[in-house]
Structure 1
Amino acid sequence: MMTFEDSLHVVAAVLCKSTGEVLLARRPAGSEDAGYWEFPGGKRESGESAHAALQRELREELGVQIERFAPLMRIPQQQAGRHLVLDVWLADGEGLQPQPLLGQQLAWQHPAQIDPYSLPAADRPALAALEQPGLYAITPDFPDGDSAVASVLACIAQFQRSGIQRLQVRLPQLSLDRRAMVLSLVQQQFHGEVLCNARDAADMGLAERAGVGLHLSQSLLQSLSKRPTGFECVVGSVHDVDALRHAERLSLDAAVLGPIKPTRTHPEVTAIGWHGFVRLREQSALPMYALGGLCVDDLAIARQHGAQGIAAIRGFVKSDPA
């Protein structure tokens, strides 16, 4: 069993203003990862609580005293042969006047304006948690026919009431023409980001014509040598470390990994559990959604295992997740 001493435990604070801006600190020359921007924080000592470590680091780095923190996410990573755990917390930065006490450069920036690759790898999932939706809904399967359109739109209405802001239209049993019609109707009625499930070039063409994002199947993802152009958002399904690393090489916006728990929709697939999710989370800085048997109530535990959020087919609509 891994002990505290076996890992490098780091805490970081996302200090937020009412404008949505967050505080970044740039590591000075001569320090590890010099030149990278990061969320303020540092190493947690053995026997020290996360809150105590945050308060100490913020006093030493910025000269500020903060009493209240809310958990954002915990990010496990394997870096240079060591196991790192980054514990990220939210705090109110309104009215603060931080000082660069360690010679670092400070800047307030809006998350959407921050280049993820200007941050150390472990910080990137935290940035994604600030700017990408935590809940990612997937349309259930509906049999082809006129009733499918009404069923999809009824499902969309439930997603809207649940506050879903990212939606994957996945209707493989429908003809290409009918899927095009459904995509058009969904765009009119869903007030959020729409992605089209893509298993082949025809599906990618459909998404491009509709002007929506892409969700790549693992097989299609692994067949590509570069990120598809012309799409604001590209997400991919991954089931193993090779696919995950390929998704990262293609600079996808996020990956979806699972199933975490057994599901009714894919009963033949063995669940990987949270332990399996963490094993893959450690291998990549790519934002990752956990999928399989989850519902809205699982978002907090998902983020404590390094997930950007959760994806679900029925978990956002019915009381019994799948």
Structure 2
Amino acid sequence: MKLQNPHTNPIIRVAVAVIRHKDEFLLAMRKAHQHQGGKLEFVGGKIEQSESAPSALIREVQEEIGLDLQTDQLVRFGVIRHDYPDKSVELHIYQANLNNHQYQEFRHRTHGTEGQSLHWLGLSELLASADRLPKANVRIIDWLSMPSQIIISHALAHFAGIDEFINYYVDKLPNHAWFYLRPQADLVTTMQIYRAMRSKRADVQMIAGDGLYRAYQDEMAGVVVKISAKTLAQCEDVAFGLTQDIPQDIPQDVRLLLGVHDEVEVQRANRLAVNARVLAGLVSPVLPTLSHPDAPALSWDGFEKLASQLSMPAIALGGLSLCDNITAKQHGAIAISGIRGFL
């Protein structure tokens, strides 16, 4: 995966609102004469020099469609940097969750204040509409596809053998679960488990480590690849004088999750995400874990600090259970992940 040479266009900073009510999303259509005319887009506009991104978003949404948002309705999603041939943009993305009154007011509104048409799309329709959006907005669809939880497997040693491991997860995983296969076994054994899981539970979104993916890439279409902190440290950004990019045998359209533990890894993740298809950063360990009870933990405040610096959504990991879902979201997580207490 090669980094592209950066464009020399001035960067335009834009605040973007992913306006939603439950699983419905409000988008506007750009007029034919505009840049990317005829495309659906999330509502937003340019951030002025003296503005914060949330302030600009609230102002632009009110000016463009007449919707009054409050700061406490905004949840930071991430930052997307994209180069078009004629301009470069830096999009500051926030989810804006409408209350029932706002939804009822806007659910039948067909045009914004500038005459642009407005469209409500259900989540499944939106996820299938990448070609209807400007390229800079497509990453948002990836982010919206993320689940509220990711289940990580126990080590194979936790079970009596491979069959018990497979049968346990085949029986226990919820429908359409996201499942990180991490049996801490050799690659041949791990791939044997992977093949069995794919054949028995085709509905499950499998996540594999980058080592397994590189070894068996031809059999792993559709998998999400977890990039370890060690591999992330090897990633290249020419501008920073480092030596190599993400392994070249991982195609650029493969969806990635990145392991993040500190501010150095946050910066590495952000640089990689400029050109790679990064879904989220797995930020850990939030709390002490049973496997490493004495290892330093971030705490929720530490997690929130790192999450706020990531240019992609953050997933909380380490010492968590399903009961931590609300707390995690209050500290900036879009999802939680763990081994114990998730099944």
Which category of TM-score, normalised to the shorter sequence, fits these structures? Answer: 0.5 to 0.7
Identify the residue that residue 307 of structure 1 maps to in structure 2. 333
Q: Provide the secondary structure at the position in 2 that maps to 1:143.
A: helix
Q: Provide the secondary structure at the position in 2 that maps to 1:150.
A: helix
Query: Residue 154 of structure 1: which of 157, 160, 168 is its match?
Result: 168
Q: Provide the secondary structure at the position in 1 that maps to 2:108.
A: coil
Query: In 1, distance between residues paired with 2:277 and 2:147?
Result: 18
Identify the residue that residue 88 of structure 1 maps to in structure 2. 96
1:262 Cα offset (Å): 0.8
Matched residue type, 2:258: G
Q: Provide the secondary structure at the position in 2 that maps to 1:195.
A: strand
- 4+ aligned runs moved over 6 Å, structure 1: 40-43, 56-60, 76-79
Q: Provide the secondary structure at the position in 2 that maps to 1:182.
A: helix
Query: Residue 242 of structure 1: which of 264, 267, 273 is its match?
Result: 267
Q: How many residues of Structure 1 are paired with residues of Structure 2 in the alignment? A: 278
Query: In 2, distance between residues paired with 1:316 and 1:72?
Result: 28
Change (3 A) 1:204 1:145: farther
Q: Provide the secondary structure at the position in 1 that maps to 2:27.
A: strand
Gaps of 5+ in 2: 1-14, 32-38, 48-56, 81-91, 236-244
Identify the residue that residue 19 of structure 2 maps to in structure 1. 14
Matched residue type, 1:243: R
Worse-matched range after superposition: 174-183 or 225-234: 225-234
Matched residue type, 1:221: L
Change (3 A) 1:187 1:275: same
Task: Deviation per CA, 1:261-305: give whole Å up to 9, x if none.
Answer: 111123343111222222222223312211012222322332232
Change (3 A) 1:196 1:85: closer
Change (3 A) 1:145 1:295: closer
Q: For the Cα contact (< 8 Å) 2:213–2:220, is it kept in 1? A: no
Query: In 1, distance between residues paired with 2:93 and 2:198?
Result: 39
Identify the residue that residue 229 of structure 1 maps to in structure 2. 251
Identify the residue that residue 136 of structure 2 maps to in structure 1. 118
Change (3 A) 1:235 1:129: closer
Query: In 1, distance between residues paired with 2:134 and 2:93?
Result: 19
Query: In 2, distance between residues paired with 1:65 and 1:236?
Result: 35
1:218 Cα offset (Å): 1.1
Query: In 2, distance between residues paired with 1:142 and 1:218?
Result: 22
Task: Deviation per CA, 1:61-120: give whole Å up to 9, x if none.
Answer: 535799xx9x987228799xxxx9956214657851242114556444543224586349
1:1-322 aligned at under 5 Å gives the runs 14-15=19-20, 22-25=25-28, 37-39=41-43, 61-62=64-65, 74-75=75-76, 86=94, 88-90=96-98, 92=103, 95-102=107-114, 106-109=118-121, 110-112=125-127, 113-114=129-130, 118-119=136-137, 130-143=144-157, 147-160=161-174, 163=175, 165-172=177-184, 174-190=185-201, 191-198=203-210, 200=211, 203-211=213-221, 212-224=223-235, 225-226=245-246, 228-229=250-251, 232-240=254-262, 241-249=266-274, 250-317=276-343
Q: Provide the secondary structure at the position in 2 that maps to 1:294.
A: coil
1:244 Cα offset (Å): 2.4
Query: In 1, distance between residues paired with 2:118 and 2:285?
Result: 40
Gaps of 5+ in 1: 1-9, 29-34, 44-52, 318-322
Change (3 A) 1:105 1:306: farther
